[in-house]
Structure 1
Amino acid sequence: MATRRWLKVLACVLFIVGPVMFFINAEAVLNGNAVECDGSPMRPGQWCASFSGGGSVSYDEEKKNEARGELVGYVGVGLGTLGIVLLVSDGITTRRRSR
C-alpha cells in the first residue's frame, strides 16, 4: 500500500517536472537547427554579445547551448509522458482491485 502511494507521488512529480522542463526549453526544441542571438539568426563565425551577462559567445558555443536545451526539452517530454503512463496505470489498477 505504501509503495503505491510513493508511485503516485512519483507520477505526479514527473507529470509536473516534465512539462516544466519542456516549456523552459521550448524555444530550442521548436527552432530546429536555427542558432539565434537575441532573436536574430546567427551564421558561422559570428559572435553574440550579451550586455546583461557581460560576455559574448561564438556561433559554435551558442549552437552547443541550443542543442543542450533541445535535449533537455525532449527529456522533459519523456518524463511527462512517463508520469501520465504511471498515473493511468495506477488508476486502472485501482479500478480492477475495487471490483
Structure 2
Amino acid sequence: MAYVLFIVGTVMFFINAEAVLNGNAVECDGSPMRPGQWCASFSGGGSVSYDEEKQNEAQGELVGHAGIGLAVLGIVLFASHGITARRRRR
C-alpha cells in the first residue's frame, strides 16, 4: 500500500508540477496572461479566458499538493513498516 501511495502521489505531483511551481502566474503556452486576455489553442481547438485558465491552474495546483501529501504518506507508511518489522525481530 505504501508503494502505491508513493507512486500515485508522485505521478499526481509531476503531472501538475507546473501549476504547483508556477505560483499565481497565469500562462498561455509559456507567455504570461493578463485579465481580459484569451488563450487560443490550435491543437485542442477553442480558446480559454484568463479567468478559466486561472481556475484550471488553481485546480492543478490543488491536485499537485494532494499528490505531495500522498507521496509523503506513502513514505511514512513504508518507514513505519520498517520500524515495526525491526522491533519484531528483537
1:97 maps to amino acid: R
Alignment of 1:20-59 (within 5 A): 20-59=11-50
2:25 maps to amino acid: A
- The runs of 5 or more residues in structure 2 that have no matched partner are none
CA distance in 2, matches of 1:15, 1:60: 33
Q: CA deviation at 1:79?
A: 0.1
- The runs of 5 or more residues in structure 1 that have no matched partner are 1-9
Q: CA deviation at 1:88?
A: 0.2
1:81 maps to amino acid: V
TM-score normalised according to structure 1 size: 0.90
CA distance in 2, matches of 1:51, 1:71: 27
- In the alignment of these two chains, the number of paired residues is 90
The residue that corresponds to 1:88 in the other structure is 79
The residue that corresponds to 1:7 in the other structure is none
Q: CA deviation at 1:24?
A: 0.7
Q: CA deviation at 1:92?
A: 0.3
CA distance in 2, matches of 1:22, 1:53: 23
Percent identical residues: 83
Cα deviation, 1:7-49, whole Å, max 9, x if unaligned, reads xxx1110011111110110000011000000000000000000
1:88 maps to amino acid: A
Q: CA deviation at 1:83?
A: 0.1
CA distance in 1, matches of 2:51, 2:6: 33
